[in-house]
Structure 1
Amino acid sequence: MIAFLLNQILSATYLMDQKIRLEDRQEVFAYFGTCSRAILSMFELTLGNWPVIARVLQDKVHEAYFIFSIAHKVTIGFAVIGVINGVFMQETFKVAGSDDKIMMRQRERERKLHTKKMKVLFEHADESGDGILDIEEFRQVMENPSVRTWLAAQDLHMNSPEASDQLFRLLDDGDAALTAQELVEGVARLKGPAKSMDLAVFSLEFRRVGQMGGFQTETFPRSGRWGSLL
């Protein structure tokens, strides 16, 4: 509609005016002389190299056309087209996020990246080169502030000096030594917030041990939060 309007206005008031130089009228005609030219120019003004057409209207026709060019670009070119692009991008990412193959590839990339990072940490900590980490080697590497910061970036926070011993016990399978595989799998299991399934499994095991007589509930105080739960 804007293209048709500009075509009619310019044809009646500018292109037919014999007082204006022929070269200027030919230049304006190249953009707005016919309906097809005007439509193509409006698409270019909206999506393409808009300053060229805006300069032609301002310099050749009238200075006031800069208001039209800027207003059209701000409202249609930036706001409307930006919203449409945002909707399309949102829908595209939504579809991509629900695609099984894409999710599998993403998980596989995350797993490989995590494995690579943990193996780099293991090689840095294994000073003896025997392929295992004892508690002393683990403590020594965890004393490095850069390593703690790096682990925090992996969603594994070491907030106290005792946290390294606790982490070692959580990763260890009971032989007082960590292998690269134990480090990779253990950190992958521990990093990040607690999952609902993990809490449900812990609650189930807790109740099972209680039913088997693994502990006496009378040893816990009956007052307070834990007493009410027991």
Structure 2
Amino acid sequence: MSRFVLVSFAFLGWGFYELSGGADFEPPKRPEPVAKAEPAAETHQLARITSVAAPTQPVLTRRSAAAAPARPAADPNLRQRVAAQHLVSASAVLASTQTAFSSGSEAAPLQLASLDGGLAAITAAPASLAIEETASLPSAAPETYIDRRSIRASRVNMRQGPGTNYPVIMRLLGGEEVVVIEDSGTGWLHLRAPDKGIVGWIAASLVSKKRP
């Protein structure tokens, strides 16, 4: 069996040798390497560069100064005339105002006197004006009615609320005076003990009737 295997391998080797060309076999030649062409970097860089226009700045131009109108020279006489006109108009306004506010009395006369400098001044002559102030006196406020009563029973409990279920806060003796604050009509009076300064509730049947 081992011999058969060896003979088979030998036959296969001889067959491969003959199929590959035998003694006339020549290995194929390798292609020669070709140098790659380097891209023109400068060409690409020049193509990418674009011309950029420089930003222009606005030019500031000065406005032509407008010629100021010539100012006329000051005229003292004109100023005096204008001042005199204003004073006359002011005197008329003052006279009308004083006449309107004066009640039955004659208004003080206004005199216009000329000064040495050419100006006019107003001098009001003194006048006695009697001003009577009538202030209405406020009517006297009506007197506040105080409902004063007295305790009828010999000893009365003053409670915190209108009912026997409320706790007792103090006790009053017969004849002590109380001031009624409220009579709600429920049989209990809301009152205050003026001598002790305590406020509470007492049954109306234990307090005297309201005074006429």
Q: Which has the higher helix share?
A: 1
TM-score with structure 2 length normalisation?
Answer: 0.23
Q: Which has the higher strand share?
A: 2
